[in-house]
Protein backbone atom coordinates (compact mmCIF):
# COMPACT_ATOMS: atom_id res chain seq x y z
CA UNK A 1 0.00 0.00 0.00
CA UNK A 2 1.23 3.43 -0.92
CA UNK A 3 1.65 6.02 1.80
CA UNK A 4 -1.49 8.01 2.35
CA UNK A 5 -0.75 11.68 2.31
CA UNK A 6 -2.42 14.96 1.67
CA UNK A 7 -1.28 18.50 1.14
CA UNK A 8 -0.41 20.46 4.24
CA UNK A 9 -2.93 23.22 4.63
CA UNK A 10 -1.69 26.75 5.10
CA UNK A 11 -3.11 26.70 8.62
CA UNK A 12 -1.11 23.61 9.57
CA UNK A 13 2.03 25.01 8.03
CA UNK A 14 1.57 28.00 10.27
CA UNK A 15 1.53 25.71 13.30
CA UNK A 16 5.10 24.85 12.51
CA UNK A 17 6.17 28.38 13.35
CA UNK A 18 3.94 29.61 16.13
CA UNK A 19 4.80 32.80 17.95
CA UNK A 20 6.54 32.14 21.24
CA UNK A 21 7.48 34.10 24.31
CA UNK A 22 9.01 33.35 27.70
CA UNK A 23 8.46 35.71 30.61
CA UNK A 24 10.53 35.67 33.81
CA UNK A 25 9.97 36.68 37.39
CA UNK A 26 13.24 38.60 37.80
CA UNK A 27 15.58 40.63 35.62
CA UNK A 28 18.22 38.77 33.62
CA UNK A 29 15.86 35.83 33.06
CA UNK A 30 15.88 34.65 36.66
CA UNK A 31 13.20 33.19 38.92
CA UNK A 32 10.21 31.33 37.59
CA UNK A 33 9.47 31.42 33.88
CA UNK A 34 6.38 30.95 31.79
CA UNK A 35 6.62 29.96 28.14
CA UNK A 36 3.67 30.20 25.77
CA UNK A 37 2.57 30.35 22.16
CA UNK A 38 -0.72 31.95 23.11
CA UNK A 39 -2.08 35.39 23.76
CA UNK A 40 -2.34 35.85 27.52
CA UNK A 41 -5.37 37.84 28.57
CA UNK A 42 -4.56 37.50 32.26
CA UNK A 43 -1.38 35.85 33.46
CA UNK A 44 -3.07 34.66 36.66
CA UNK A 45 -2.79 35.45 40.33
CA UNK A 46 0.55 33.80 41.00
CA UNK A 47 2.41 35.48 38.14
CA UNK A 48 0.50 38.76 38.01
CA UNK A 49 2.60 41.89 38.47
CA UNK A 50 5.81 39.88 38.68
CA UNK A 51 7.41 39.89 35.23
CA UNK A 52 10.77 41.65 35.04
CA UNK A 53 12.41 40.21 31.91
CA UNK A 54 11.47 38.13 28.88
CA UNK A 55 12.64 36.45 25.72
CA UNK A 56 10.67 36.84 22.51
CA UNK A 57 11.38 33.76 20.44
CA UNK A 58 9.07 34.56 17.57
CA UNK A 59 6.55 37.23 16.69
CA UNK A 60 5.91 40.83 17.57
CA UNK A 61 4.40 41.20 21.04
CA UNK A 62 2.70 43.92 23.04
CA UNK A 63 2.50 44.04 26.84
CA UNK A 64 -0.33 45.40 28.96
CA UNK A 65 -0.70 46.57 32.52
CA UNK A 66 -4.29 45.37 32.84
CA UNK A 67 -6.15 42.22 31.92
CA UNK A 68 -7.97 41.85 28.61
CA UNK A 69 -5.18 43.75 26.83
CA UNK A 70 -5.87 47.11 28.42
CA UNK A 71 -3.33 49.84 29.17
CA UNK A 72 -0.41 49.05 26.84
CA UNK A 73 3.09 49.49 28.21
CA UNK A 74 6.02 50.11 25.88
CA UNK A 75 5.81 49.51 22.17
CA UNK A 76 5.58 46.33 20.13
CA UNK A 77 8.76 44.26 20.47
CA UNK A 78 10.21 41.62 18.18
CA UNK A 79 12.47 38.63 18.75
CA UNK A 80 15.24 39.17 21.24
CA UNK A 81 16.41 38.77 24.82
CA UNK A 82 15.14 41.58 27.02
CA UNK A 83 17.00 41.59 30.32
CA UNK A 84 15.02 44.27 32.14
CA UNK A 85 11.54 45.48 31.20
CA UNK A 86 12.23 49.00 32.45
CA UNK A 87 14.73 49.51 29.64
CA UNK A 88 11.90 49.08 27.13
CA UNK A 89 9.26 51.38 28.53
CA UNK A 90 7.55 48.73 30.63
CA UNK A 91 7.02 49.12 34.36
CA UNK A 92 8.68 46.52 36.54
CA UNK A 93 6.34 43.97 38.14
CA UNK A 94 3.29 45.38 36.37
CA UNK A 95 2.60 43.08 33.41
CA UNK A 96 -0.76 41.33 33.48
CA UNK A 97 -1.39 40.55 29.81
CA UNK A 98 0.43 40.25 26.50
CA UNK A 99 -0.39 39.29 22.98
CA UNK A 100 1.22 38.63 19.64
CA UNK A 101 0.40 41.32 17.09
CA UNK A 102 1.86 39.47 14.12
CA UNK A 103 4.23 36.69 13.17
Stretch of 10-18, 37-45, 58-66, 92-100 contacting Ca ion, by CB under 5 A: 92-100
Q: In Å, what is the CA distance from 22 to each residue of 3, 9, 13, 19, 27?
A: 38, 28, 22, 11, 13
Q: Give the one residue of 19, 23, 40, 52 binding Ca ion; rule: CB under 5 A.
A: 52
Q: Does 50 bind Ca ion (CB under 5 A)?
A: yes
Stretch of 10-18, 44-52, 62-70, 83-91 contacting Ca ion, by CB under 5 A: 44-52
Q: Does 94 bind Ca ion (CB under 5 A)?
A: no
Size of the site for Ca ion (CB under 5 A): 3
Answer whether 102's CB lies under 8 Å from 60's CB: yes
Answer whether 59's CB lies under 8 Å from 50's CB: no
Q: What is the β-pairing status of strands 97-102 and 80-82?
A: unpaired
Which residues of the chain form contacts with Ca ion (CB under 5 A)?
Answer: 50, 52, 93
Amino acid sequence: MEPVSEPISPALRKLDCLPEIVVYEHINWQGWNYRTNMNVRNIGTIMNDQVSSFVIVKGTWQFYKDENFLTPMGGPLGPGCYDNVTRYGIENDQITAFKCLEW
